[in-house]
C-alpha cells in the first residue's frame, strides 16, 4: 500500500473520471457494464474485461480515499 500512498489523489480522480467513464456517449461504459451485471447478462469475456478495465480506476480511488480517511496523522 506504500505505492498507493505515494500516488496523488488528484491523478487517481482524473484517471477514474476519464478512463472509468469513457466512452461518455450514449452512457458511461462502466454504468452499462454494471447494469449488465445486475441484469445477469454479463457473460461474454470481453464484457467482463471491460467491467474490470473501467472499474479498476474507481477501485484504486476508493482504496486511496479509504486509506487516507483511516490512516492516523
pLDDT digits 0-9 by tens, 16-63: 989 888 887 888 888 888 999 999 999 999 989 989 989 999 999 999
Averaged pLDDT, 5-15: 91
- pLDDT reported for residue 11: 93
Count the neighbouring beta carbons within 10 Å of the beta carbon of residue 69. 7
Domain boundaries, position 47? 2-70
pTM for this model (two decimals): 0.80
- pLDDT reported for residue 40: 92
Q: How many domains does the chain have?
A: 1
Cβ atoms 61, 13 nearer than 8 A:
yes
- pLDDT reported for residue 23: 84
Cβ atoms 55, 20 nearer than 8 A:
yes
Amino acid at each position: 500500500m506504500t505505492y498507493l500512498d505515494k500516488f496523488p489523489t488528484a491523478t487517481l480522480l482524473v484517471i477514474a473520471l476519464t478512463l472509468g467513464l469513457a466512452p461518455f456517449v450514449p452512457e458511461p461504459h462502466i454504468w452499462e457494464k454494471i447494469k449488465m451485471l445486475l441484469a445477469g447478462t454479463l457473460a461474454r469475456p470481453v464484457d467482463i474485461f471491460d467491467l474490470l478495465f473501467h472499474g479498476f480506476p474507481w477501485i484504486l480511488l476508493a482504496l486511496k480515499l479509504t486509506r487516507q480517511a483511516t490512516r492516523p496523522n
